[in-house]
Structure 1
């Protein structure tokens, strides 16, 4: 488990707990000097080991706030406050403005839209946009520093990134990250009920909207469809059980290319994990055709060979 003092801090001032309490999903703040030193030293050691031709960096992001954006959007630690101040952003003012967006249905809609595509206007939205830009810059700076260490040893660099509809929510700027990597794999997992999976993240947001009584199910899914620019199933149950159509995965691949991702690889979830994902042959073939037609330059069979039926 990462050191407690390194963990990201949410809108509510509490350290953000990892998914199911798992250490591999417990995120640390990229603006903390001690985190930067520890991670870069580890990257340096591995790069110099002589064992590898390249490195693939995963979880280079902030924790997803989808389960409860009013609490889990991060980070607001003391180091982030100092870094934000140096960049001309008052983080406490931003925190208050963002929390106010979760106060009414109209503002909550702006919060969701802002987290996904940054287009809404209104009170608090300008602060939200400034804060999200600060976060993506923080991630990009950290990744750039790591890739410089790796490339100094003559190794290539690949990055694992969220699907484009969700990258803004976790602080990933595909264009900036593309400039400091050799290739990017997008996690456009259309049928995964786990972190990074489109059904998991979007259904969590829908649950929060409906559970907070900001909107009914139909309207909540309409908010999400507008924010992601993706066709979504009619109900949360359909989203969780059937996932997204191949056309949506193709749209995400094209979007990643348009947003400046360098050499782009698509990830397809072939693992068979009960309650998380289990794809049949017909679905796999349809998704593969969609990725190919959308121009993905390669394919990554995700995400754990031990759980992929052969």
Structure 2
């Protein structure tokens, strides 16, 4: 975990925004300094703002508790993708019971006495292609091998097809995993074993989160969830419609300009790089439903169509958009923020989540956010 800023530093940034912006919720985490949370909660309550504890669920808890890692199709532990200190994109298997137990123990031991309004559950997934092919071609731990058999999925066929993708054989030369089409957040493949595999992973994540969600509900806490955009969520085990049954709101990450995990351009490029022997971007334009995907920043019309797919989920949507600026990962500007907000405001959303974090947002971006989301009396 990174050393958190002082309360005085946080207050100097937060209070002007709370005074001037129409803020509903504040997401904060996951330092272990209890007093810092208590001070921020007292400040937020003066402005009628709810405070949610940010918690990584299937990642990063290994810093504090024993965990069970993901095992790939070649029998190796899936490697960590390191972005910055305290956020290592190391993922754990949802079928290993100790991973749920360890996560809840962390909450009980450190955070349970702090008066949060809710919890915000992040890293509720398997790896994406950011962790390479191995990240997606997982998990094959003993528990998962039993689960494949129980689900009626041919592990032998799955391993054969994964080996063919690694070799770039046949159908896999010109289309990622042999994708035939993309519609309503779901893909169709030349070989249906992939549809079985990804549907299975989505069930595993949902079943993992169901008792965790109930635990927090029983404590009187609201629940927010962080998800990928649908086109990437599919590969990481996130059925957003199903997950919305467990949440009070969903934050799909619509990071159009981010060259790092969860960034739409990054995840799109990694999909191509890891599944094709030659990562040529124009391949997407030949897949029905993916014609407009891609670009830097990511195509706005495709982003809007992704949000429209989620409009029937039944809980409020607060898409995440970047206001941070981290060179060279996220070169955000006030103009970019304005363009994104104006376009996505035309969709069926209830608001925006200003991401990734306040500490990395420069003054000009914060000023633009204050202008766009000024407090309405």
TM range (shorter): 0.7 to 0.9
Which residue of the other structure, out of 236, 239, 248, is the alignment partner of 2:302?
Answer: 248
Alignment check: 8 A CA contact 1:192 1:276 kept: yes
For residues 186 and 199 of structure 1, the distance between their equivalents in structure 2, rounded to whole angstroms, comes to 15
Secondary structure in 2 aligned to 1:301? strand
Q: Is there any run of 5+ residues in structure 1 with no aligned partner, and where?
A: 234-238
The 4+ residue runs of structure 1 with deviation greater than 6 A are none
Q: Using a 3 Å threshold, how does the CA distance of structure 1 residues 19 and 304 change in structure 2: closer, same or farther? A: same
* Map of 1:107 onto structure 2: 172
CA offset digits 1:50-89 (Å, max 9, x no partner): 4211000001000112564367422111111122222233
* TM-score normalised according to structure 1 size: 0.85
For residues 67 and 26 of structure 1, the distance between their equivalents in structure 2, rounded to whole angstroms, comes to 9
* TM-score normalised according to structure 2 size: 0.71
Q: Which has the larger radius of gyration?
A: 2
Q: Map 1:183-202 onto structure 2 (within 5 A).
A: 183-202=249-268
For residues 354 and 97 of structure 2, the distance between their equivalents in structure 1, rounded to whole angstroms, comes to 35
Q: Map 1:71-220 onto structure 2 (within 5 A).
A: 72-102=136-166, 103-108=168-173, 109=175, 111=177, 113=179, 117-121=186-190, 125-208=191-274, 212-213=277-278, 217=280, 219-220=282-283
| 1:17 to 2:79 alignment | yes
* Map of 2:9 onto structure 1: none
* Map of 2:316 onto structure 1: 263
How far apart are 1:281 and its partner, in Å?
A: 1.8
- Select the structure that is richer in helix: 1
Q: Is there any run of 5+ residues in structure 2 with no aligned partner, and where?
A: 1-59, 364-377
How many residue pairs were aligned? 294
* Map of 1:301 onto structure 2: 354
* Map of 1:35 onto structure 2: 99
User: Could you say what the CA RMSD is over the residues aligned between the two structures, in angstroms?
Assistant: 2.6
